[in-house]
Amino acid sequence: MTALERVQRRRQAVEDVQTLFVEHLMLDVEPQDLDPDAPLFGSGHALDSIDAVELVVALENRFGVRLQESRVLSIPHLRTVNTVVDLVIAETQEAA
């Protein structure tokens, strides 16, 4: 994969994750307005443990990855849109 392809792939993944967050977690923003570096849990978008479960299941279905059995999944991975994208890319590469 070239550097350009990697950048494009990441950009697409960010868009997908933004859309998934807004749809599944009922965030009141347009997907593109969801700051990829804003904290999602606690004070940020005030997501909680129930949302975390929903998020993991939705990511598995959208990206065809198995996060619940993942060796790398931990709470810091769900901190922001960008950390979620890191996780998804790592897991899809692991699967491939």
Partner 1 sequence: MSIPVARIGICTPLGRDLEAFWTRIAAGDDGFIEVDRFALPGLPTRWASAFDGPTTAKLCAEAGHDDPAVAFAILAARDAVAELSAEQRAATALICATSAGAADTHDAYDRARRGKSDLDPELLAGGAFTSFASVIADALGLGGARTTVSTACASGGHALGLAIDLMRSGDAERVLVVGADAVHASLFAGFHSAGALAPRPCSPFGEGFGMSLGEGAGALLLGACEDPVASLLGWSGSCDAYHATAPDPRGEGMARAFRSALVDAQLTPDAVGAFNAHGTGTEANDPAETHAIRAVFGDRIPVSASKSQLGHTQGAAGVLEAIVATLALRHQHLPPTLRSTPARRVAPADPVAGGRARPARYDAVMSHSAAFGGTNVAVIIGRSPRAREPEPKSPVFLAGVGAVGPFEGSVGSALDPAHRPSPSGSPLRVRRADPVTKLLTQAVAHATADADVPRHGAHDGVAMVIGMADGPQDSMRRFVDSRDQRGLGQASAAAFARMVFNAPAGAAAAALGLRGANLTLWSGHGAGAQAVLCGARLLQHHGDVQQVVCAAADEIGYITADRDQLGRLPATPLAAGGALVLSRTPSDVQLKGAAWGPPTQLDAVIAKAIGGLEPDRTVVSSDGAVPATLPGQTQYILDAALGYAPAASGVLASTAAIEWIRAGVSGRVLAVSIAEESGVTALLWASPTLGDDDDRT
Question: Residue numbers of the site for partner 1 (CB under 8 A)?
Answer: 24-28, 45-46, 48, 50-51, 53-54, 57, 60-61
Q: Which is nearer to partner 1, 7 or 53 (CB)?
A: 53
Measured in whole angstroms, the distance separating CA 79 from the mean position of its chain's CA atoms is: 9
Q: Which is nearer to partner 1, 60 or 86 (CB)?
A: 60
Q: Which is nearer to partner 1, 4 or 26 (CB)?
A: 26
Closest CB 39 distance from partner 1, rounded Å: 15
Question: Can you spell out the DSSP letters for 22-86?
Answer: HHHTT-SS-GGGS-TTS--BTTSS-B-HHHHHHHHHHHHHHH----TT-SS--GGGGSSHHHHHH
